[in-house]
Amino acid sequence: MGKFRILALVSLVIFPGAVSVKADVNDDTVRAWITRGFVADECKPAETMADLGKSRSVAEMHRAFQFLKFDCRDEGLSEDLNLAAAENYAFIRFAASATGDKGTEYLPGGYYALKKAADAVGLLQVLKQSDEPVSKPHPDVLRWGKTGVAHGLRDYKKRTGQEPAYQSSSLKLAWEVLSKTYGEVLSKTSGQ
């Protein structure tokens, strides 16, 4: 069983109701944010919706993720759960499409469990990746991440003609992101 799956299960057993959430995620608004990521022109939901079922290139999804994360969330909109769902969708669709690794199916749940556990013990803000606060874990953000995986793996199959398979590339990608993002934080806090 993968590390992220174990983390998710442990978190749900230890902290089953630790995070209460409101229905703050609107699917139409999430789709509008994703659409805005494709055109990357201004930080507000788009007025028209892109077809998310349409196959997208790795470069297109990478650009959408970067715009939503660095130009919007990290510039003052980090706690907007609709934007968080859109950014999670764009990132994981990019990762699944780039690698074709079915292991990406475990990444949204692993990240959700990590945020939920951190929030339960008052350490959510330790997960900061910028100067902006971390958004609360939300099951609808998780659901959008899972949708991104499905769409990304479908993109991979269409682009390469190969079936997605379990490999280590998604874990390597996750490790690189986690190490870069949290390694500095952990090294600073371990000496305190």
pLDDT by residue, tens only, the chain of 192 residues: 444 444 444 444 444 444 344 458 999 999 999 999 998 888 888 888 888 889 999 999 999 998 998 888 888 888 999 999 999 999 999 999 999 999 999 999 999 999 999 999 999 988 888 888 999 999 999 999 999 999 999 999 999 999 999 987 767 776 776 666 555 544 544 444
| pTM to 2 decimal places | 0.78
In a domain, 57, yes or no: yes
Please state, in angstroms and rounded to a whole number, the distance separating the CA atoms of residues 125 and 5: 23
Parent domain of 27 = 3-13+23-187
Which stretches of the chain are DSSP H helices? 3-14, 27-39, 58-66, 81-99, 107-120, 139-160, 169-190
What is the number of structural domains in the chain? 1
Closest CA to 153 of 92, 97, 87: 97
